[in-house]
Structure formats: structure tokens, C-alpha cells
Amino acid sequence: MIIKECDTKKITNENPRGGNGFIHGMEYLVGEQITNKIKIIMANDLEIGAMIGEHSHTNDEEFYYIISGQGKVIDDGIIKEVSAGDLIYTASGHSHSLENIGNTKLKSLAFIVEK
């Protein structure tokens, strides 16, 4: 199966997960379209200064692969900077947030997987 960007569902969320600003996403595969434990595969653009608020994961795990830009992650209370090529992994029972601290959009590819 090949999924073209033009065929993805486009979404925009304001103040994602209690954060601030906007995140724009493209849903490539979601829910019943996937026959394994992956819940969603999504490409995201986090606008300059925007933040996905701190939230925890229960019964699932989340992976963010940073494609471009610079960000600040709070990973279980520990603050770290991330940039292109970095992977953020949040296991079930743990929390994280992601803030765009750069001067361009923070582009990432996200996967949420059932535990």
C-alpha cells in the first residue's frame, strides 16, 4: 500500500494537549486501517513557539522522530533539547511535552502503539 500525502486527512489542533499555539498534522493511517498494534501514524508541523502540553500515556507508547527544527522536551520532568534525527520515546506510564524553540516549524513523524 502506498499512501500519498495528498490523500491524508489534514488536521489542525489549537493548544494541543493543554499546550499553546497550533500543530498541523497529516494522518497517514489510523485505527482500523492498521491491523497491528499501531494506533496512528502521523506527520506533524508544530508552529514556531507552539507547544504540545505535558501528558501521560496509559496502555500505549509514543514515538516522535524529529525531521527538522529545534524543540524542548520535558520527559518525566527532565528537560532536554531535540533536533533533526532525534527520537523521543515515551513508554506507557510516562509523560512528556514538546515545545518548538526554533525559528522554523518543528517537523516530526509520530507513531502511537498499543502496549
What CATH number is attached to the domain comprising 109? 2.60.120.10
Residue 73 lies in a domain: yes
What pLDDT band is residue 30 in, cutting at 50, 70 and 90?
Answer: confident
Is 23 inside any structural domain? Answer: yes
Which whole number is the average pLDDT over 93-100?
Answer: 97
pTM of the model: 0.84
Residue 49 located in a structural domain:
yes
Split at pLDDT 50, 70, 90, the class of 33 is confident
- Asked, for residue 104, whether it belongs to a domain, the answer is yes
- Mean pLDDT of the region 54-71: 96
C-alpha distances out from residue 17 to 32, 54, 83, 114, Å: 24, 7, 21, 19
Residue 1 lies in a domain: no
pLDDT, averaged across the chain: 94
Is residue 2 in some structural domain? no
Q: Residue 20 falls within a domain, yes or no?
A: yes
What's the pLDDT score for residue 51?
97
Residue 3 falls within a domain, yes or no? no
Q: How far is CA 70 from CA 2, 22, 83, 100, in A?
A: 29, 16, 5, 6
Structural domain harbouring 54: 11-114
User: How many domains does the chain contain in total?
Assistant: 1
